[in-house]
Amino acid sequence: MSRLQRTFTRYALAAAFVAASTVVAEIMYRTSENPRLSMAFLAGVLVTAYALGSGPAYVAAGLAFLSYNFYLVEPRFIFSFESEDFVTLGVFLAVAMLTGNLTGRVRDQAARAEARARTTDALFRATHEFSALSDEPVIRDRLAQHLATAARGEAFVGSGDDVRAWPVQPTPPQAVLDAAARLEGEAGEAAWSIGAGEWVVRTLRTGGQSLGVAGWRSSAEHPLNSDERTLLEILTDAGAAALARARLNAARAEAEARAKTEDLRNALLSSISHDLRTPLAAILASASSLEQFGEGFAPGVRVDLAATIREEAERLDAFVANLLHMSRVESGALAVQATPFSAAEVIDRTVGRRARVLGGRTRVHTPPDLAEILGDPVLFEQALGNVVENALRHTPPDAPVDVRAWREGGDVMVEVADRGPGVSPDETDRIFEKFVRGAGAAKRPGVGLGLSIARGLTEAMGGGVSARNRPAPEGGLVVTFRLPAATS
């Protein structure tokens, strides 16, 4: 409804109130011996002033005076004005003026209070929502929606080529977007009205940093008042602050990620150099000894030196294989050849290949009727070997490492338990992450890849792996594999 239509409706209602007052006065005239007919018209003027304001009240006062004179003053049904009749008109006009002014003031105060309440509510909802957001495009999208709601029209928020409009369709005219792009590069703050549609565009700027532009246009039926314009400006400031916070948090997160990456890189280089140089040094020392003094050594010594070369070469090969497996797991290129295989055979083979290092400290417990595992035996041996070597590194020289397997429902469980210090409760899952080592592993060799690779290989076969601390008196860490059984 346009403003002209609303104005016409108000004055038509004023005339209707006077007509109703005339009907009431006519009833009083016919049913009462000494009616105060002017009170009916006075009530109509009061109602008009209270409900519609001063302008319609003045019209109602004039119409009430004419209706009262025409219908109810003798002789009836003609206009007959006496001097005392103008006193009645004056009373009607005075009542209309006083009541209209009072009700208008009350209405204005109520409207201002309601506007303040709407402003407070809109600001609270917007700032509360902004505080929970950290993504710049999402903040721009929500800011555009809040601006469109406050303007009771449409709005957009843009930064470069990223323009978020609300409603989504139609988007702002290209002329508005071009002007907004020019405004975004201006120093300081500015607000422009663009084109016949009265698009208002305002920069989003905080601390001298340009964060984009915001624009809005109200509908023709709801022109903006000063309170609504103030609300829109405050919303743009709140949105700019949220965007600045999101940008700062993103920069901080990026800096922290770079620092963490640098720390990991340094730790990885340090650990890799140690894990490569240690077996290489042993290989070089053994090979040099054989080359220079081989003929003078007893046969048993030569065998030991050759075994050292082989074992250290296997250690290097296992290290390179770990790096290769990790890259395949992360890239999703790991090929799993799922076939039934004997868990007991893989356990025996894993322990046997490390017999010299283990020194007979491994205790294996597997039932003779243990079900086969459905998976890749090569990958499982690699995963199990990493866990066994990890247990060996953390177990005292005179303490055993226990490996046992059993059937549990539709799965085969394989458990490796050491006698080391264990880990803190909050590390039982983190130790399976890349380059993460337990608090007690700082002085021991290793990169922190073994358990991570074990989990990746196991999950690739459809299984899982977990860790827990073993209570006293044994103590230590228990790593448990869960793999699907080949038979149900």
Tell me the C-alpha distance between 215 and 203, whole Å.
9
pLDDT in tens, 29-40: 788 766 677 777
Handedness of CA 292, 297, 299, 300 (dihedral sign): negative
* DSSP H helices in 132-225: 136-151, 174-184
Tell me the C-alpha distance between 247 and 241, whole Å.
10
Mean pLDDT, range 370-399, rounded to an integer: 88
Q: Can you give the pLDDT at residue 24? A: 85
Query: Given the DSSP bridges, would you call strands 209-218 and 199-206 parallel, antiparallel or unpaired?
Result: antiparallel
Question: Of residues 444 and 135, which shows the higher confidence score?
Answer: 135
> Which amino acid belongs to residue 9?
T
- All domains of the chain in start order, with CATH: 3-113 (no CATH), 134-250 (3.30.450.40), 332-484 (3.30.565.10)
pLDDT in tens, 123-162: 888 888 888 888 888 998 899 888 888 888 888 888 777 7
Alpha-carbon torsion angle 120, 125, 126, 131, nearest 10:
120
Tell me the C-alpha distance between 235 and 122, whole Å.
9
Tokens linked to 193: 């009205």
> Which amino acid belongs to residue 231?
L
Number of Cβ within 10 Å of residue 99's Cβ equals 21
Tokens linked to 281: 């040094």
The pLDDT confidence band at residue 384, using thresholds 50, 70 and 90, is: very high
Tell me the C-alpha distance between 267 and 274, whole Å.
11
The pLDDT confidence band at residue 480, using thresholds 50, 70 and 90, is: very high
